[in-house]
């Protein structure tokens, strides 16, 4: 909705709730006269006021959260335009975080040993949620309640919301405005930097939705804008995303080339270098150099020993020994070294901080399931599959679903797969294919 429709809706909600303009202004710490002029159409609302009113009254909740946030970038001007773009990125990331969260891990994913037999219990108790799955760009890092959680919806049901499409539409709005020059040139670099962040979010969500051609285009636009603005921090994040995307597509030499261009091109903080050493290792493994890959993974782990530095980009918080283990395990699973990959994937899922999966570690669970099935660890595979069934509504990543379906299909085609395991895998496949809107 545009600013006029938004203000009309605010007036209606205030009337319905019996709240005066003065009371709303006092709650939001705004001048009542200013709010009155905005709601009467005599003055344009600022991006901050729109965000405040939306949070206070939740006037835009009948439309999807991404579409609601796009209204910010349609009305902001001057210094507020960059802020509005970043606020849109922040909201999109919050919803993407909700979609990426997953549940408590099964014991077989944490340690070797006998697994519980029998049918999966679909009436799992309420399960703890993990922390955010992706970084919120720049300084927009306050922990806020997710939109999905506020609405009480399953993550798989929210998967029907076009998050990647909404992010792309938001960026297209900014892209066209940048092309027309309809903005204050005094803030040009800040606006370009904010636009790069929004394009990065769009590129990531497209990648995770497996819309790969579009993801590559958005990543290229993001990189161009980051370089144009001189924002090296966001440029590094985009380059790491591009390297990861190349590896997912099987373009391992490209992944390796991107990683080494960053490592050799400039001085990096230890944490950032660790991230690109992981990308280097994945590229080497994909190209068949497993000895070199193991060395790069070990190098990445050693770099984390230096701890956190003031110069580390805020988006680099996610790199950890568990995260490196997950990538190491995935490299071994992709190379069909299933037995070797199990220990790394188990460590990736059993974090030192407790029994929680964080975000896209659901991908590690899918890879671990494939490893268990491939080495005939039937009881462990059955228990892990049951655990995934219990949390299937929390999986919002299309890449995770692709990996799970591949593992299920491969095991069901193998003659040696026991009937009990087949039943659990069929149950998992049905759970993923079921209507997420059925109560």
Each residue's pLDDT tens digit, 74-131: 767 888 899 889 988 888 887 766 554 433 344 444 443 333 334 464 333 332 233 3
- Number of other CB atoms surrounding residue 371 within 10 Å: 28
Please give the model's pTM, rounded to 2 decimal places.
Answer: 0.74
Integer-rounded Cα radius of gyration of the chain? 23
Q: Which two tokens stand for residue 88?
A: 């849109």
Collect all residues with Cβ–Cβ distance below 8 Å to 90 and sequence separation of at least 6: 136, 137, 140
Collect all residues with Cβ–Cβ distance below 8 Å to 62 and sequence separation of at least 6: none
pLDDT at 435: 64
Share above pLDDT 90 across residues of the chain, in percent, rounded to a whole number:
49
Q: What is the pLDDT of residues 150-194, one digit of tens each?
A: 333 344 444 434 688 889 989 999 999 999 988 899 999 999 999
Q: Which two tokens stand for residue 270?
A: 């230890």
Q: What distance in Å separates the CA atoms of residue 250 and residue 286, rounded to the nearest whole number? A: 7
CA angle at 403 for the pair 398 and 409, rounded to the nearest 5°: 120
Q: What distance in Å separates the CA atoms of residue 384 and residue 122, rounded to the nearest whole number? A: 13
pLDDT at 438: 60
């Amino acid at each position: 909705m545009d600013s006029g429709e938004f203000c009309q809706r605010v007036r209606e909600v205030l009337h319905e709730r019996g709240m005066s303009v003065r009371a709303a202004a006092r709650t939001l710490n705004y001048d009542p006269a200013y709010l009155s002029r905005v709601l009467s159409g005599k003055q344009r609302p600022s991006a901050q006021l729109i965000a405040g009113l939306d949070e206070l009254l939740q006037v835009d909740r009948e439309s999807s959260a991404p579409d609601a946030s796009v209204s910010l970038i349609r009305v902001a001007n001057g210094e507020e335009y960059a802020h509005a773009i970043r606020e849109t990125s922040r909201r999109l990331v919050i919803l993407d975080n909700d979609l990426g969260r997953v549940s408590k891990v099964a014991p077989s994913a944490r340690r070797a040993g006998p697994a519980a037999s029998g049918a999966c219990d679909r009436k799992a108790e309420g399960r703890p949620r993990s922390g955010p799955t992706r970084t919120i760009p720049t300084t927009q890092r306050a922990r806020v309640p997710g939109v999905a959680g506020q609405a009480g919806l399953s993550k798989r049901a929210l998967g029907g919301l076009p998050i990647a499409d909404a992010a792309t539409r938001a960026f297209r709005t900014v892209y066209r405005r940048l092309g027309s020059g309809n903005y204050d040139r005094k803030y040009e670099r800040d606006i370009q930097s904010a636009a790069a962040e929004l394009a990065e979010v769009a590129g990531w969500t497209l990648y995770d939705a497996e819309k790969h051609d579009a993801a590559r285009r958005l990543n290229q636009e993001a990189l161009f804008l980051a370089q144009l603005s001189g924002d090296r921090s966001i440029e590094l994040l985009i380059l790491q995303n591009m390297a990861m995307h190349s590896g997912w597509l099987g373009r391992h030499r490209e992944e390796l080339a991107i990683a080494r261009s960053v490592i050799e091109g400039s001085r990096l903080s230890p944490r950032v270098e660790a991230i690109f050493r992981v990308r280097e290792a994945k590229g080497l493994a994909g190209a068949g150099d497993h000895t070199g890959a193991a060395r790069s993974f070990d190098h990445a782990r050693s770099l984390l020993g230096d701890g956190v530095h003031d110069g580390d980009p805020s988006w680099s918080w996610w790199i950890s020994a568990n995260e490196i283990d997950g990538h190491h395990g995935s490299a071994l699973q992709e190379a069909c070294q299933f037995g070797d990959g199990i220990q790394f994937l188990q460590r990736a899922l059993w974090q030192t901080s407790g029994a929680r999966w964080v975000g896209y570690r659901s991908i590690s669970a899918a890879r671990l399931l494939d490893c268990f099935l491939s080495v005939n660890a039937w009881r462990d595979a059955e228990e892990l599959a049951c655990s995934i069934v219990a949390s299937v509504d929390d999986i919002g990543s299309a890449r995770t679903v692709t990996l799970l379906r591949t593992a299920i299909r491969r095991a069901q085609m193998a003659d040696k797969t026991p009937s009990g395991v087949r039943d659990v895998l069929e149950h998992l496949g049905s759970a993923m294919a079921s209507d997420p809107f059925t109560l």
